[in-house]
């Protein structure tokens, strides 16, 4: 099974080593994978905008796998279990 992880971190390493939160989305069936990807990308965009991202730059950020404003970083990362 594939998993899409949305990982938020802070430059403030006193907060759990810098990790603020992790949300994961399981891709159980290939025919539903596009729906799961869309949910994960929407969460990524929402959190990035809340932390200062310009909506126009978010597609590039998803393609790069992360957005950062210097003190906050959000990453989208695929893994397998």
Q: How confident is the model at residue 13 (pLDDT cuts 50, 70, 90)?
A: low
Sign of the four-CA dihedral 12, 19, 10, 78:
positive
Residue 18 has pLDDT above 90, yes or no: no
Tally of CB atoms within 10 A around 24: 13
Residue 16's pLDDT band (boundaries 50, 70, 90)?
A: low
Look at residue 72 and tell me whether its pLDDT is greater than 90. yes
Hey, which residues does 9 pair with through a beta bridge? Answer: 19, 73
Residue 23: half-sphere exposure toward Cβ, Cα within 13 Å:
12
Beta bridge partner(s), residue 76? 6
Q: How far apart are CA 72 and CA 52, in angstroms?
A: 9
Instruction: Give the span between the Cα atoms of 5 and 10, in whole angstroms.
Output: 16
């Amino acid at each position: 099974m594939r998993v899409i992880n949305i990982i938020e971190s802070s430059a403030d390493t006193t907060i759990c080593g810098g990790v603020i939160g992790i949300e994961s989305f399981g891709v159980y069936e290939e025919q539903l994978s596009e729906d799961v990807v869309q949910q994960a990308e929407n969460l990524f965009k929402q959190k990035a905008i809340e932390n200062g991202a310009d909506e126009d730059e978010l597609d590039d950020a998803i393609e790069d796998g992360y957005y950062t404003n210097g003190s906050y970083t959000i990453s989208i990362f695929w893994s397998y279990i």
